[in-house]
Structure 1
Amino acid sequence: MHFHRSQILGSMLALTPQASHAYPGTSPKCSLDNIAHQLSSIGSSLSNNATILSVTHVQLNGSYGDPHSPQGLPSLVSTGLPDLCAVEVNVTSSESSSYTISIFLPSKWNSRFLATGGGGTGGYVNYLDMGVGSQYGFATMSTDNGHRGSPYDRAIHGSVELSKRLIKGYYGKNIQYSYYTGCSTGGRQGLKEAQVGADSFDGMLIGAPACNDYYPVDDPKSIPNELFPTLIAQTVVDQCDEIDGVRDGIVSDPENCYPDFEVLSCDSTGTNSSACLTSLQLETLAKIYEDYYIGSEFVHPGLELSSEPGWPQYLFADTPTSWGIDYIRYVVFEDLNWPLDEYNSSVYERLKNLEISHEIDADQFDMSPYREHGGKILMYHGLSDPLIVTRGSSHFYKQVELATGETYPITDWFRLFFVPGMLHCSGSPPGVDAPWHINGAGQNWQTGSGAYSVPGFQDSKHDALLALMEWVEGGKAVDQIIATAWHNSTDPSSGVWKQRPICPYPKTAKYNGVGDVNEARSWKCA
């Protein structure tokens, strides 16, 4: 076992310069000696391979995190923290690998543990969601998954196990309940952990878990990028919006809408050729929405109606998204120059048979051990998510229901909520501006560091984490969650604009026909 202070990963993890209230070792509990003692008393292979990187006391309203955030992320410095002890530990997992765990230990502990997931390729410590969790009183944990930018995910189970033991030793009493929150890659990480270690968590808040044909722009089958968020998105709204009883630009029930895209055909009389689709382009559009099969084997669901506004940014730019093609290049073929136009069904077969795919994929649908442990899952997904296909969540949910049998209804322990108009994990397209904030993972990144819960609505009716806790600890199943949007989506002080209930699948929110459409009480789940 190794105990020392050091600059973490070459100063990549450090206190933000303005964190004048954060300083090391100011209390006997939050000290290198005490944390070293707790690790030593664990006496496992994990703790024997652990190196303490730092122990830092953060005073009330102090800051802590990583000012050198990976590209594409906001500053990973959590501000306005409660008084807590921040511990950084590195665990050697093999001769050539290690992973870093960060743990926040608040002085006012609620006797609960909260693990937080990451996103993208997961190569960072999620200090922001850790900070949100610590505001409730959770002892929180996040891991960098053993890398900074590599596409592998290999550290959740060891991180959870070591963190729990360290927390128990630090406070001198058992953890009463253990929770998890994560979206995108973080959602998959949580589901995978529940499949690997059924007793890791009592409740999990899972968002948009990451569990198509591509044509060059000069190919006649290719659809111009600018038509997705305009012509095609508007056609979907025109034909699908009013299913919930009100025309407001928010598509609430795409599963029961079957739009006729022939109205966009350039063969239609009087159609402007710059605002229509050729027969070949209409075939491409149909493939985008269709589920992908190789022979009779289901491979991946098609994209969802109402997700079109985000397609140009995430999926159909001049080059395909790097997350997909880089995985094939780095992992499947180990060839950085592998060209996408060589894709065929044999690539899928090769990927499916890779050992690393089985380690990463959360595809062990029989989650009976987690259910029998008493665990609960509250999963949510934005219906307008352009990155992680919405129907992937309903497919996962149905597969788990089939695999776990009919003895216990799946709604007794697992509920899925779709959020109309929400993009990937948070936010809503301009002009749609649907309510989306339910305190999902990463959502308070939008409303400012230091924010927690749903600002102004810190209760189980609006906050999905509190609703999950009420279900786990009080037995009250989650029948709806009220989503919130403000006039300025990133500034709750701008005032509430819209609120609407989101409903457990397959129910959807229906307008009562008489009330204010922007008030939650005017809607019901049906």
Structure 2
Amino acid sequence: MRVMTWMGAAAGALLVWAANAPAALAATPSVDCASLAGRSLPEARVLSAEPVAAGPYKAPDGTVTFPDLPAFCRVVAMAETDVKVEVWLPEAGWNGRFQGVGNGGFAGNFSYYAMGPALRAGYAVAGTDTGHGPAEGKPGTRLDWMHDPTQLANWGHNSIHRMTVAAKAIVAARYGTPAAKAYFEGCSTGGAQAMTEAEYFPGDYDGIHAGAPGMNYTRLMMSFLWSSRATLLDPASTLSAEKLTLLHQAALNACDAADGVKDGLIENPQACRFDPGVLQCKPDATDTTACLTAPQVAAVRALYAGPRNPRTGEAIYPGLVPGSEWGWDLQQGKLLEAYVIPLFQNMVYDNLSWRWQDFDFDRDVTLTDEKVGATITAVSPDLSAFKARGGKLIISQGWADQLNAQTYPIQYYQAVAGTSDPAQARARLGGYFRLFMAPGMGHCYGGPGPNRFDAVTALRAWVEQGKAPDRLVAAKHEKDLDPTSAVLRTRPLCPYPAVAHWTGKGSSDEAANFTCW
């Protein structure tokens, strides 16, 4: 559940705005970088401060090397309740704004790969370890931070707020003036952190981008568990890579062309009527390589349906949609090992011998929610305080996400609006909250569709110029992790419930030839 920042192609109108925006807000440091070391601010204790020269820079943990960062002051500080913070402050060309970046998974490390692009864009940028060290666990391993109420609360709700308060104080100390505006961007766990900020700490940020938010963390873990049980309890139900390819192609065959363009993407999976039963092997089949066995069809249907209470039939969490099958190998044990088992063994049951096969989707759902739900979820539909202070929120979600149930952000959007009627929801929320669904986009990045876009620039135009985003332009690069690689396709992402439609003129690989309606 890695977080990724989007610094790809933005909408043409936003680029025009950015090019013509006033140069005001830029400021130069008022104190020497090294002089910050050892300072105790009301909100933070500075551990170190060192100048970093312009040029190539290897992140302190070695996870990423940037070929060309501008000169900056790297500050390491300790915020309240021992939340470690890093703040990177441009030596020149600061744009007068602060950006916080989110984490992935169980966190425990810094999202340097997101901090670098933000620094390059002129922001003073901060990240955090959320209060504990490297946290990826293995089944049967005690994760001490999950047993510490303060550290668990930091990871679940508080660390980004503590980071933000501390970082803003450091920015003001460095430049002699506070940041004029503040923005936050995170995906996956970082998307959940973004929603925590909007719900619990609405005064921290002017604009927030929550990507693929794992905001209902307990139920998300249950969805991983449900998928693993559907495909692993009976080995005959397991879906091989070849079977997943077969399934994904069948879904595309059924629904790809519904938007008028056959491009390997399902633009609106909610309108897709695909029955995996069409792939079921004939009763007398001896070669099942080109079909799905009856247990495999049942498993696929279970993944599409999502977890349900076996006694009442009540939905526990949404299922996965057609078009996301390409990445379902993760749903068959990998997410279980990396997240579900460590979380339930440590947070819920305090029992390292707990077995995932024993989870009861009737009794244990309530138990889990009562034990840790209030600490690690951010699902309140009350955004009134964020709205009242003028905050702007963008949620984005990939339709081909191989982890998150793609329709959960839609359910949340409707809950905030208090209606499922599209026109009413747009009228109630359009002034401060917009949801963008990305066809073919995987979890935070990657996938068969365009998956790089610049939500922060859109937020700036919305917050500072009052220009609400009517589209975000996403790009598909030759190499998904390299925004300098060739652009293969661009596509507009439309504010939900609008969908992109090809005009019928020009290339269907160019966003300019699509309209949102």
Please, what TM-score do these two structures have when normalized by structure 1? 0.80
Distance 1:239 1:101 in 2: 49
Matching of residues 246-285 of structure 1 within 5 Å: 246-267=261-282, 272-285=287-300
1:424 is the counterpart of 2:443: yes
Equivalent pair of 2:243/2:291 in contact (CA under 8 Å): no
After superposition, the C-alpha distances for 1:134-179 in whole angstroms (9 at most, x for unaligned) are 1121111100001123464141111111211221222112321110
Alignment partner of 1:132 out of 109, 117, 120: 117
Alignment partner of 2:477 out of 481, 486, 499: 486
Structure 1 residue 36: Cα displacement? 4.3
Deviation larger for 336-345 or 403-412: 403-412
Does the residue aligned with 2:264 lie in a helix, a strand or coil? coil
Distance 1:506 1:435 in 2: 19
Give the RMSD, CA atoms, in angstroms. Answer: 2.5
The residue aligned with 1:524 is 515
Distance 1:437 1:182, change over 3 A: same
Equivalent pair of 2:89/2:171 in contact (CA under 8 Å): yes
The residue aligned with 1:182 is 186
| Relative contact order higher in (CA < 8 Å, ≥ 6 apart) | 2
Structure 1 residue 102: Cα displacement? 0.2
The residue aligned with 1:67 is 61
1:511 is the counterpart of 2:502: yes
- Which residue identity is paired with 2:289? S
Equivalent pair of 1:57/1:84 in contact (CA under 8 Å): yes
Distance 1:416 1:118 in 2: 21
After superposition, the C-alpha distances for 1:276-329 in whole angstroms (9 at most, x for unaligned) are 2333432222111114333365421101211111111x1114883421222111
Distance 2:426 2:457 in 1: 28
Distance 1:142 1:131 in 2: 11
- Which residue identity is paired with 1:310? G
User: What percentage of residue pairs aligned between the two structures are identical?
Assistant: 30
Distance 1:181 1:503 in 2: 19
Distance 1:500 1:301 in 2: 26
The residue aligned with 1:90 is 78
Structure 1 residue 494: Cα displacement? 4.7
The residue aligned with 1:29 is 31
Alignment partner of 1:292 out of 298, 307, 322: 307
Unaligned runs of 5+ in 2: 1-28, 136-145, 147-151, 216-225
- Which residue identity is paired with 2:332? F
Structure 1 residue 28: Cα displacement? 8.1
Structure 1 residue 510: Cα displacement? 1.2
Structure 1 residue 350: Cα displacement? 1.2
Distance 1:218 1:338 in 2: 16
Alignment partner of 1:158 out of 153, 159, 162: 162
Equivalent pair of 1:386/1:424 in contact (CA under 8 Å): yes
Structure 1 residue 339: Cα displacement? 1.0
Structure 1 residue 235: Cα displacement? 1.0
Structure 1 residue 271: Cα displacement? 8.9
- Which residue identity is paired with 1:287? A
1:336 is the counterpart of 2:352: yes
Alignment partner of 2:172 out of 149, 168, 172: 168
1:241 is the counterpart of 2:256: yes
Distance 1:273 1:76 in 2: 44
Distance 1:499 1:125 in 2: 30
Greater helix proportion: 2
Please, what TM-score do these two structures have when normalized by structure 2? 0.81
Deviation larger for 276-285 or 333-342: 276-285
Distance 1:378 1:271, change over 3 A: farther
Deviation larger for 297-306 or 254-263: 297-306
Distance 1:200 1:275 in 2: 54
Structure 1 residue 482: Cα displacement? 1.2
The residue aligned with 2:407 is 391
Greater strand proportion: 1
- Which residue identity is paired with 1:495? A
Deviation larger for 111-120 or 319-328: 319-328
Deviation larger for 138-147 or 289-298: 289-298
Structure 1 residue 84: Cα displacement? 1.4
Matching of residues 455-466 of structure 1 within 5 Å: 463-466=454-457
- Which residue identity is paired with 1:87? V
Distance 1:227 1:421, change over 3 A: same
Equivalent pair of 1:471/1:477 in contact (CA under 8 Å): yes
Deviant stretches of 4+, over 6 Å: 268-271, 403-408
Does the residue aligned with 1:390 lie in a helix, a strand or coil? coil
Distance 1:250 1:367, change over 3 A: same
Structure 1 residue 224: Cα displacement? 2.8
1:102 is the counterpart of 2:96: no
Distance 2:105 2:474 in 1: 24
The residue aligned with 2:21 is none
1:379 is the counterpart of 2:398: no
The residue aligned with 2:13 is none
Alignment partner of 1:497 out of 479, 488, 498: 488
Does the residue aligned with 1:274 lie in a helix, a strand or coil? coil
Structure 1 residue 489: Cα displacement? 4.0
Distance 1:321 1:315 in 2: 10
Distance 1:29 1:77, change over 3 A: farther
Q: Say how many residue pairs are matched.
A: 452
Distance 2:459 2:30 in 1: 35
Deviation larger for 255-264 or 147-156: 147-156
Equivalent pair of 1:58/1:64 in contact (CA under 8 Å): no
